Structure 1
Amino acid sequence: MVGTPPELERGTGVPAHVQIERWLLASIAAGELAPGDRLPGERELAGRLRVSRMTLRQALATLAHDGVLLRVPGRAGGAFVAEPRPEPRIECDLTGLAGFTEQMRRAHLRARARILRAATVPAPAAVARALGVAVGAPVHEVARVRSAGGSPIALERSCFPCLPGLLEEDLTGSLYALLATRYDLEPRTAVEHLDPVIARPAEAAELDVTPGTPLMLIERTAYAGDGTPVEHALDLFRPDRVRISVRSGVTAPEGS
Structure 2
Amino acid sequence: MSLADSVVSIGPAAERVRRQLLDQIQHGLLRPGERLGAERSLAEKMGVSRSTMRQALGALESAGAVRRVPGRGGGTFVRAQKVERDLSRVVGVPALLRAQGMTSGSRIINTAITEADEETLAALELGDGAYVVDVVRIRLADGLPISLEHVRLPAERFPQLLDLPLGGSLYDLLEKHYATVPGEAEEHIEVVAASDDEASILGTDPGAPLLSITRTTKDADGVVFEYSHDLFRADRTVISVRTPATPRSTQDGAGRVVALRHRVKS
Offset of residue 249 of structure 1: 2.6
Quote the residue 1:35 is aligned against. Answer: 38
Indicate the SS of the match to 2:176. Answer: helix
- SS of the counterpart of 1:104? helix
TM-score (norm 1): 0.70
Matched residue, 1:201: 196
Please state how far the C-alpha of 1:35 moved relative to its aligned partner: 3.1
CA deviations 1:64-95 (Å, max 9, x no partner) are 8xxxxxx3378999x99972232221212121
Provide the rounded CA distance (Å) in 2 between the counterparts of 1:175 and 1:75: 49
Q: In structure 2, which of residues 113, 118, 132 is the aligned counterpart of residue 139 of structure 1?
A: 132
**Residue 89 in 1 paired to residue 82 in 2?**
yes
Alpha-carbon contact 1:123-1:134 (below 8 Å) kept: no
Q: Structure 1 residues 83 and 164, CA, compared in 2 at 3 Å: closer, same or farther? A: same
Q: Which runs of 5+ in 1 are unaligned?
A: 1-24, 43-59, 65-70
Aligned to 2:233: 238
Matched, 1:122 2:115: yes
Please tell me whether residue 182 in structure 1 is matched to residue 159 in structure 2.
Answer: no
The alignment-based identity, stated in percent, is 35
Aligned 8 A contact 1:220 1:233 in 2: yes
Distance 1:41 1:225 in 2: 59
Match of 2:143 among 124, 139, 150: 150
Read off the aligned partner of 2:209 and give its amino acid letter.
P
What is the number of equivalent residue pairs in this alignment? 200
Q: 2:244 aligns with which of 224, 230, 249?
A: 249
TM-score, reference length from structure 2? 0.68
Q: Match of 2:249, SS?
A: coil
Aligned residue in 1 for 2:49: 72
- Per the TM alignment, residue 121 of structure 1 is displaced from its structure 2 partner at its CA by 1.0
Deviations 1:83-127 (A, max 9, x none): 223222121212111110110011111210100111011111121
Unaligned runs of 5+ in 2: 1-29, 58-67, 69-74, 252-266
2:154 to 142, 156, 161: 161
Letter in structure 2 aligned against 1:83: T
> How big is the alpha-carbon RMSD for the aligned residues of Structure 1 and Structure 2?
3.0
Larger radius of gyration: 1
